[in-house]
Structure 1
Amino acid sequence: MVRGDIGKGGTDFTSSVEVGVQYNISEHGQLTMKYKSTWLDYEDGTPGEVGYFKYDTVTHGPAIAYTYKF
């Protein structure tokens, strides 16, 4: 599976990309293994003024999930 998104709202820019595999173990169980990366660019206020806040980061790493459907 490959999934991605791009957004803008309360942030200047946000995007996310994930790549992985899903395996149906049974009719009710599914195993998902993926690698996900999220970019976030947020700025509030004016640079140099009291209370100015800037948050610019990339968070990434592996994820493993087991889903049970009933």
Structure 2
Amino acid sequence: MLEVPKGFEQKGWSDCEIDGERLADDISKSICKLEADGFEFVSISNINSAVINLITLIQIGQAMGGLWF
């Protein structure tokens, strides 16, 4: 069983999925603060998230000719 790190506080609606709107807002606020402190941003990399369950994983594996884990 996974242990929750001390000081961790879940603020979103899910403990396993990214809340895109909240993430965008958090990033925007952080960028504004850092720019005010004199930092300059050249680029920001994409953040990808996916949720996949075991049934979907098995179905994908079967479609590819066998199970893979």
TM-score tier after normalising by the smaller chain length = under 0.3
Higher helix share: 2
Structure scoring higher RCO (CA < 8 A, sep ≥ 6) equals 1
For the pair shown, which has the larger CA radius of gyration, 1 or 2?
2
The structure richer in strand per residue is 1
Given the two structures, how large is their TM-score scaled by the length of structure 1?
Answer: 0.23
